[in-house]
Amino acid sequence: MEKEELRSLCRTCIARKATTIPEHICKQLLSIYNIEVPEGKFVSTAAEASAAAAQLGFPVALKAVSPFLLHKTERQAVRLNIGDERTLSEACGAMEKGFLNRGEEFDGYLVEKMIPAGAEFIVGLQNDPSFGPVIMLGTGGTMIHLLDDVTFRMLPVTREDVEGMIEEIRGKVLMRGFRGSPPLNEAAFVQTLLAVSRLGMDAAGLYESVDFNPVAVTEKQSVAVDAKIILTQEPAGECLSAPTANTSHLDKFFEPRTVALIGASTTPDKIGYVVADSLINHQFDGKIYPITRGRKKIFGLESYESLAEIPEVVDLAVVVVGLALVPEILDQCHGLGIQAALIISGGGKELGGEQAELEKDIQYRARKYGIRLIGPNCIGCFNAGNRFDAFFQTHERMVRPRKGHTAFITQSGTYGCSFLEAFEHIGITRMISYGNRVDVDEADMIAYLARDADTKVLAAYVEGLGDGRKFIETCREAISTYKKPIVVYKSGRTKRSAKAAQSHTGVYGGTYGIYRGAFKQAGILSVDSFEELLAVTKALAMQPHAAGPGISMISNGAGPMVNAIDLFGRYELEIAPLLNETVEKMKAQYPPFYISKNPVDVTGSATSADYLFAMECLLNDPNVDIIMNWFVFQDTPLDEGIVEAVAGMNRKSGKPILCGAAGGPYTRRLSQAIENVGVPVFESAHLWIAAAKALVEWGRLRASIY
């Protein structure tokens, strides 16, 4: 019942072209949802206001009510803590006069009993273009802008989500015995948040945003002191159901037995030449049909003039000709029964205008025909297993990685190249650069890759999501079904860079807060730079998860450990407190100038045997969850036996091992040797720590799944 009442009221107000629901009505609604509001009365005149105040008891708050009023404080349309009748009637006069002077509609006054002092929070709802309805929690009242202490979740939320939101904001301390004050009613506040979420779900599609600012939490209550529902002028359905991922025919992008290359070229440096080289000359053993004008030999293969000439129905059409030709190509594909096309060509919505229209036409045809499209404006796909690739980067300029356990999807082709080369030795399974994603989107790819038996880690670089809700639901399901970590770096976080993202890949990047919250709900590991994405993915691909946040470090040089510890707070890690026996064992073994505690400083005199001894001690200490070695390979006593020492530990240790080292050619050679035996090495303290954090977080998430 409450839901129908709410939706019908919203619709009535929208029909009246009102921007908001008047506050006194709004508060009646809240009561229906069991959200506490201050005792109050809506009145029309100053005299009635006085009578209401007498009845409620001073001190009171006075608020002007008007259907078009959005910013009460700025408009002097709210007065708090009015202690007597004279002040009240003066305030009424001033308020009404202000409205009259500005020629604004004025409905009357809301007189409310003041709530005793407590902690103030802002709670809000928004209708996000990508995620649909979301809830926000912030610390604050008037200080919210300064505090910048907010968090978001996609609706619907669970009690666990809501408790997680509270845990995330610094302002939680205000409720927990702040500066000697008694603890406030946090349980009531949780109820308020859950009720607001229910309201947000019920009214979905009818509001732009809803603000409860502040919600006052006191020892006894949690009260929505102020409530403002900003209605949408374009009411929509409930928009809460996300389309499910569509993985049909995606195999054709990775395991095509037959490929047509539309736009093959015999001119070196042309994209059609390089793609032909990638397809034909490098280990991939599918059949390639080059299509170009005139009969030519392309790397020894006969060329064709059109798809229709090809003697069989190809699994995949790779398109590098101008985008304007693509609608017709799709018509042909449909006629021939081709079900997958990779459109490398750019020149679509990133240019706006007619080109954006063209891209819409392409999308329309693909959907109509049921043809799966990747692209346009991308560098394509790669399968490290069968070596299928259609990259327009030559093998001379871009190395292809060996087969490994990581899949990567990327909106940016540039970062696609960087990822491939960074994972040369570590290896990957599949990679997709998806550009403008007119059809196959992030969710489709995640759903597809999560099912791939060889893929153990999924990584994604995104600038904006087409359908955020679909992505989140798909990731959530993939993670809980397949128990594989998904790492996402979302860039385009500020308005500025969202705009840059827009001009390049035609999407609105949005702000990051909502993404961050939604990623948490899905169990996604989110990182803050492309370098962190590489580091975290590498760690997850090579090492097991951590059982807890207890870090141990060993080094023959202290500097990087000092740096690392600086980051422990930000990354929520802890120096594991060692057992006494662990410390004593090390003391008994080491010369007195080694420092036998955590972190272990084996000094410039350390040998590989010294590292091995420390690693064994730490492995046996139950307080240690991760073993982190930093190596100054430049120091002579450290012999190359270190590679086998680490390899041996890695074989028998159930605990993750992460290494670090920074230097020139010798250091790089030793680091590579250690990575070759399965243990990742990082070049900076920051990435070393970010990797540890990810193993801890993945351990926690995994535990919550099982």
Q: How far is the CB of 392 from a second copy (least distance, A)?
A: 7
> Per-residue string for binding with a second copy, 233-272, x by CB under 8 A?
------------------------------------x-x-
Window 4-33: residues binding a second copy (CB under 8 A): none
Between 20 and 555, whose beta carbon lies closer to a second copy? Answer: 555
How many H-runs (helices) and E-runs (strands) does the chain carry?
22, 30
Instruction: Cite the beta strand spans of 329-465 per DSSP E.
Output: 340-343, 372-374, 380-383, 388-389, 406-410, 430-433, 457-462
Structure tokens belonging to residue 267: 């001119």
Torsion 476-482-487-492 (CA) sign:
negative
Residue 620 half-sphere exposure toward CB, CA atoms < 13 A: 11
Q: Which stretch binds a second copy (CB under 8 A): 86-94, 207-215, 472-480, 598-606?
A: 598-606
Between 219 and 302, whose beta carbon lies closer to a second copy? Answer: 219
Binding of a second copy at residue 414 (CB under 8 A)? yes
Dihedral-angle region of residue 151 (phi above 0 means left; psi in -120 to 50 means alpha; beta otherwise): beta
Q: Which letter, b or e, does each residue of 644-664 get, where b requires 16 or more Cβ atoms within 10 Å of its Cβ?
A: ebbbebbeebebbbbbbbbee
Window 316-355: residues binding a second copy (CB under 8 A): 346-347, 350-351
Q: Which stretch binds a second copy (CB under 8 A): 40-48, 154-162, 175-183, 232-240?
A: 175-183
Between 392 and 471, whose beta carbon lies closer to a second copy? Answer: 392
Residues 627, 658: Cα–Cα separation, whole Å: 6
Pick from 93, 243, 577, 637 the residue near a second copy by CB under 8 A: 637
Query: Listing from the earlier edge strand, what are the strands of the sheet with 287-291?
Result: 287-291, 258-262, 316-319, 340-343, 372-374
Between 601 and 697, whose beta carbon lies closer to a second copy? Answer: 601
Residues 312, 434: Cα–Cα separation, whole Å: 27
Q: Which stretch binds a second copy (CB under 8 A): 156-164, 257-265, 419-427, 518-526?
A: 419-427
Residues 701, 521: Cα–Cα separation, whole Å: 11
Between 200 and 464, whose beta carbon lies closer to a second copy? Answer: 464
Q: Which amino acid is at 644?
A: E
Query: Cβ(209)–Cβ(133) under 8 Å?
Result: no
Window 508-547: residues binding a second copy (CB under 8 A): 509, 529-531
Pick from 254, 382, 392, 682 the residue near a second copy by CB under 8 A: 392
Q: How far is the CB of 50 from a second copy (least distance, A)?
A: 21
What angle separates helix 85-102 from helix 46-56, to the nearest 10 degrees?
140
Residues 218, 175: Cα–Cα separation, whole Å: 8
Between 75 and 483, whose beta carbon lies closer to a second copy? Answer: 75
Q: How far is the CB of 5 from a second copy (least distance, A)?
A: 34
Binding of a second copy at residue 382 (CB under 8 A)? no
Query: Cβ(262)–Cβ(289) under 8 Å?
Result: no
Between 155 and 465, whose beta carbon lies closer to a second copy? Answer: 465
Between 245 and 632, whose beta carbon lies closer to a second copy? Answer: 632
Pick from 242, 274, 409, 426 the residue near a second copy by CB under 8 A: 274
Q: Which stretch binds a second copy (CB under 8 A): 2-10, 90-98, 168-176, 299-307?
A: 168-176
Distance between alpha carbon 609 and the CA centroid of its chain, in Å?
A: 42
Q: Between β-strands 222-224 and 657-660, what pairing exists: parallel, antiparallel or unpaired?
A: unpaired
Dihedral-angle region of residue 246 (phi above 0 means left; psi in -120 to 50 means alpha; beta otherwise): beta
Binding of a second copy at residue 176 (CB under 8 A)? no
> Per-residue string for binding with a second copy, 201-240, x by CB under 8 A?
----------------------------------------
Residue with tokens 């948490």: 520
Q: Give the C-alpha distances (Å, rounded to integers) separating 574 from 187, 619, 645.
A: 30, 16, 25
Q: How far is the CB of 556 from a second copy (least distance, A)?
A: 8
Window 63-92: residues binding a second copy (CB under 8 A): 73-76, 83
Pick from 444, 601, 621, 697 the residue near a second copy by CB under 8 A: 601
Residues 442, 476: Cα–Cα separation, whole Å: 13
Q: Which stretch binds a second copy (CB under 8 A): 17-25, 550-558, 641-649, 696-704?
A: 550-558
Q: Which stretch binds a second copy (CB under 8 A): 101-109, 438-446, 631-639, 697-705?
A: 631-639
Window 120-149: residues binding a second copy (CB under 8 A): 139, 142-143, 145-149
Backbone angles phi, psi at 498, to 5 degrees: -60, -35
Pick from 67, 235, 548, 663 the residue near a second copy by CB under 8 A: 663
Q: How far is the CB of 688 from a second copy (least distance, A)?
A: 12
Between 134 and 462, whose beta carbon lies closer to a second copy? Answer: 462
Window 433-452: residues binding a second copy (CB under 8 A): none
- Distance, first Cα to last Cα, the chain: 37
Pick from 214, 510, 560, 656 the residue near a second copy by CB under 8 A: 560
Pick from 472, 575, 602, 691 the residue near a second copy by CB under 8 A: 575
Kindly state the greatest CA–CA separation across the chain. Answer: 97
Residues 383, 453: Cα–Cα separation, whole Å: 13
Pick from 166, 399, 619, 677 the residue near a second copy by CB under 8 A: 399
Name 119's Cβ contacts closer than 8 Å, sequence gap at least 6.
Answer: 171, 174, 175, 178, 184, 216, 217
Q: Which stretch binds a second copy (CB under 8 A): 103-111, 151-159, 215-223, 592-600?
A: 592-600
Between 285 and 396, whose beta carbon lies closer to a second copy? Answer: 396
Binding of a second copy at residue 166 (CB under 8 A)? no
Q: How far is the CB of 545 from a second copy (least distance, A)?
A: 24
Window 449-478: residues binding a second copy (CB under 8 A): 461, 463
Binding of a second copy at residue 396 (CB under 8 A)? yes
Q: Which stretch binds a second copy (CB under 8 A): 290-298, 363-371, 380-388, 662-670?
A: 662-670
Pick from 267, 569, 652, 654 the residue near a second copy by CB under 8 A: 569
Pick from 11, 257, 367, 496 the residue near a second copy by CB under 8 A: 496
Structure tokens belonging to residue 678: 């399965």
Residues 209, 236: Cα–Cα separation, whole Å: 14
Name 443's Cβ contacts closer than 8 Å, sequence gap at least 6.
Answer: 245, 467, 470, 471, 473, 474, 475
- Give the count of residues interacting with a second copy (CB under 8 A): 101
